[in-house]
Structure 1
């Protein structure tokens, strides 16, 4: 494997190379599916490029419920194929692909009826466990177990007495979604892929009715250039419509693309899922909680020192670039969380919010159906020769989606050159088990608590060695970041030098979670973070000030939007904040 560093130099080298060669596969979209597709294609021995208009995982893929799961509600919908597929992928991620980024997590399903509900839910969870068994795949989690009311209280003391007469404990897994995406990109680059973020597809190149590449714009420099490829894959999620509407699409495909995103009677529908974040000391428990609401599923998830509570499932018809929470969303989640908690949470406890858009595939005939009832299945389609798109699906099944879309793009060539990603560890996995056993020695060497070492191992795996090299070269980088002592200064430098962060918001919202795990959403620490990034990215004083002001404007707009009663008003406020590198109008965002 070559270096996996996503450095500014790597990005420029990738752009230079993208201009000069004809690729086998070009992937548009740097979310989890696009990054997975780039990794799938490059590990088949293909010459691969990957471009993303904003930061890696800046859309849906950094705004999930942070879960790798089969989906109990899909089981309730009798979608056994999807559940089995997702549970198989859960096992692979936990045990082979990314065991440091994906961690088993116990959940309690509270029971409010002693007999019939225990039998009904117990049978469902027995099936859930059964579907997770697959030949050659380790499950990575224990089987479910029935609990008495007292057993529930031992695991989750802050569950209200009225919320459960007993419960069932089962396991799924949690994930740092944005870091998983960045690691997929890094792994693909390590195997030879060319990857460039802040690089936007603005039109197609076509010859004789076939797509042969894209016209792209480097949003950092403003330069435009052509990228030629034998196959173009669009993995842009809720932007699938825009992907198929770019200028230059062969004319015979226009009618199909105008009718539906895939040209097969399907269209992508955006569903907003919103989450709130509350401090870890506001809820006492060692497991997550799952229960059903009238509109969605309620998750209360312990996550890295705080709790994530979600989610909503509502149509989103505003700008797709910046989905935000509104006051109605926050009140909805607080009301349903308080219905099961002994502790009463208020808006004063909400230290952060985030919202993402699920790309749901929906037949045109089912437009009136609630988004909560729309299938999470995915579809790959070819709206024009040379162009393959994929939409739908869920985060957990990204690898299957990536395999399917590359298979479809390659057509008859795929059988002779199949995917190998099912057993391929991501960067940071090899050596992780050894570093985990050395955690006590690392703590002594650097004067850290074991919890600090665990934090680093959970973010970097065996790539912790690269972070430690920075600290060995400059011991001051081993100090906590002032105002956000959960993070080390070295992590900020590493994000800019090795993880592809080009702007302040990339670090504060995706490489770290300071945008919602800090009370002031990271505004207070932004200048110190900009100071650490500046030498890597060549920022002068004016550039640093612009980055800090842009982040402040964005954050203040999101806070103001959170007070609005509906999506239209909230979105208008968020859209008023300027972007440090705006994308081109009418192109894939």
Structure 2
């Protein structure tokens, strides 16, 4: 079994410089991980490089939904919605422990003219309900055999029962429809692990600094290993740029004129406690905003996520929620909820950039920035895949590999349509075994549930380590379900290299904890050090770096 430990990372770096690969993937977010898995499952030899940590960009900053994109319906973007709904169904099938259906309450108020961000309305809003109903029938219909459950109309009373904190004044009735929810980082890690199982050579903290060219064609990439401070060259037949909002910068390394133009759009989310928002298990869609956005209140883990915005660009490496972003979101939350929320209620905020894509080719229509993706081949041979959304990562990867198959004169096959991701084997039977082991280990139901939905069958490895060292069953933070054994697991099996990798990505502590992991930082660093034998000055440096980064984020929110 591929351990994906720090030791394996070192071995992988040696392999990178000595082997010649069929496919080199740049970018370790959900798209790059999906491309690496698709390529490896089609039989190609694959290398994947990530300049920071896996999922450290946009892939850890989503609304945590595997959804069809209900807001694209009013724009008649049927192809996009259909594609996303089919992918949502395949995700539920191929990663059952990671993706679960969730009900969305859509309330209808007097005077609503643009519910779910409808770009048009009817005189006085008459008949809007019928339109919404038709739209939701289409949403169900476009999902085909993959539909989760059919939408239905609910009374005013049922809306308030399911979403008790909504303001009752002017509430007429509502609808319920269904979508999927996932943990974006855990999904990315499952893809990384599955790709490694299929033979992909994977490293994080390895940045591409330039390309090797022969006769105007790309033949390799120059890379810098940030951890070991060394430079190497990786040679590959096909090179794929899957770097999301950084796609243009990577293209620029290969030639003067990038083929695509990425228009980063910032999405900001606020995280609250469930008690403060008084939500149950259902998500709520806020009816409308002046700028026709659609805002979701989504119960997630022990918390509630609220978002998202759609604002311009900034520092791509450090997206932050500004005062304006926070004020915008709080305004609508307080408009529709009977609980009054202030900045003091916010546990954390997070921001990420969506890679909305334009092509620079003259004949391409650039009028509409679409969330659909583009696979673009540059004259140097570099293939860039960008655009899209979390839910459609598999389809994006498949379209990218089809281009490579055609280049190689091979008939495309689509193995990932029915390929279970690592941790999914024999689910839900394994779920019962894990439940039994969790009870034996004396863990709470909340922790047992968390381990199952985060790691699937790999949670057995976590229980193995608890059997060897019962102290690892201890919680890291008293009101969150994370335990010490997860730190060891992340070091041994998920290439966690720094405390931030664990606090911000392998777990979601940084989002769910008011102190954003600072109180448990020493503990986590020590557990990692027991695996890596870090000298004490290295530990102190890592601790300081983490604190500095957290403080910078908190400062940005206050200004």
Asked if these proteins are the same fold (TM beyond 0.5), I'd say: yes
Q: Is 1:337 equivalent to 2:344 in the alignment?
A: no
Distance in 1, Cα, partners of 2:190 & 2:170 = 40
**Contact 1:273/1:355, CA 8 A, preserved across alignment:** yes
- Of 137, 140, 160, 1:126 maps to 137
Provide the residue aligned with 1:74 in structure 2: 72
Deviations 1:525-546 (A, max 9, x none): 1111111111222312111111
Aligned 8 A contact 1:98 1:425 in 2: yes
1:380/1:405 contact within 8 Å kept: yes
Asked if 2 retains the 8 angstrom alpha-carbon contact of 1:230 and 1:386, the reply is: no
TM-score normalized by structure 2? 0.93
Aligned to 1:99: 96
1:267 matched to which residue of 2? 261
Residue 353 of structure 2: which of 350, 357, 360 is its match? Answer: 357
The answer as to 2:383 corresponding to 1:388 is yes
In the alignment, which of 282, 301, 304 is matched to residue 301 of structure 2? 304
Give the superposition deviation at 1:297: 1.4
1:523-567 deviation per Cα after TM superposition (whole angstroms, max 9, x unaligned): 111111111111222312111111111111111111110011xxx
User: Which residue is 1:585 aligned to?
Assistant: none
Residues 328, 45 of structure 1: alpha-carbon distance in 2 compared, 3 angstrom cutoff = same
- The answer to whether residue 156 in structure 2 is matched with residue 162 in structure 1 is no
In structure 1, what is the Cα distance between the partners aligned to 2:158 and 2:317?
44
Determine the structure 2 residue equivalent to 1:110.
Answer: 107
What pairs with 1:397-476 in structure 2 (closer than 5 Å)? 397-413=392-408, 415-438=410-433, 440-476=435-471
Structure 1 residues 74 and 408 mapped into 2: Cα distance closer, same or farther (>3 Å)?
same
Measured in 1, the distance between the counterparts of 2:439 and 2:374 equals: 51
Pairing partner for 2:513 from 506, 515, 518: 518
Q: Name 2:113's counterpart in structure 1.
A: none
Q: Tell me which residue corresponds to 2:486.
A: 491
CA deviation map 1:228-270 (0-9, x unaligned): 0000000011111111111xx3xxx53xxx2xx32xxx41100
SS of aligned partner of 1:343: coil
Do 1:267 and 1:362's aligned partners in 2 also have CA atoms closer than 8 Å? yes
TM superposition shift of 1:411: 2.5
In structure 1, the residue matched to 2:270 is 276
SS of residue in 1 equivalent to 2:518: coil
C-alpha separation in 2, matches of 1:401 and 1:540? 43
CA contact 2:446–2:481 (8 Å) conserved in 1: no
Provide closer, same or farther for how the CA distance between residues 4 and 101 of structure 1 changes in structure 2, counting only shifts above 3 A. farther
Equivalent position to 2:250, from 219, 238, 243 = 243
What is the CA-CA distance between 1:163 and the residue it aligns to?
6.0
User: For the Cα contact (< 8 Å) 2:406–2:412, is it kept in 1?
Assistant: no
Secondary structure at the aligned position of 1:312 is classed as coil
Q: Can you give the 5+ residue segments of structure 1 that lack an aligned partner in the other structure?
A: 565-589
Map 1:125-144 → 2, pairs under 5 A: 125-134=136-145, 138-139=146-147, 141-144=148-151
**Equivalent residue for 2:240?**
233
Displacement after TM superposition at 1:344 (Å): 1.2
- Is the Cα contact below 8 Å between 1:39 and 1:185 reproduced in 2? yes
Q: Partners in 1 of 2:14 and 2:44 — Cα distance? A: 18
Corresponding residue of 2:215: 208
The equivalent residue for 2:20 is: 22
Counterpart of 1:530 in structure 2 is 525
Q: 1:370 to 1:125 in 2, by over 3 A?
A: farther
* 3-state SS in 2 of match to 1:100: coil
Residue in 1 that maps onto 2:115: none
Q: Do 2:509 and 2:517's aligned partners in 1 also have CA atoms closer than 8 Å?
A: yes
Is structure 2 residue 201 aligned with structure 1 residue 194?
Answer: yes
Give 1:580's aligned residue: none
Query: Structure 1's 440 and 8: CA in aligned 2 closer, same or farther, altered over 3 A?
Result: closer
Is 1:46 paired with 2:44? yes
Among residues 354, 367, 374, which one is paired with 2:369 in the alignment? Answer: 374
Q: How far, CA to CA, are the matches of 1:119 and 1:465 in structure 2?
A: 50
Which residue number corresponds to residue 172 of structure 1? 179
Tell me the matched-pair count. 540
How far the C-alpha of 1:484 sits from its partner, in A, is 5.6
Larger displacement relative to structure 2 (409-418 or 15-24): 409-418
**Whole-angstrom distance in 2 between the partners of 1:534 and 1:370:** 51
User: How far apart, in 1, do the equivalents of 2:53 and 2:407 lie?
Assistant: 34
Query: RMSD in angstroms over aligned alpha carbons?
Result: 1.9
1:462 alignment partner, SS class: helix
Is the 2:51–2:206 Cα contact (8 Å) retained in structure 1? yes
Indicate yes or no: 2:502 matched with 1:507. yes
SS in 1 for 2:247: helix
Match of 1:481, SS state, is coil
Question: Cα 1:163–1:359, aligned 2, differ >3 Å: closer, same or farther?
Answer: farther
Deviations 1:196-242 (A, max 9, x none): 00001111111122111101111111111110000000001111111
Matches of 2:410 and 2:144 in 1, distance apart?
26
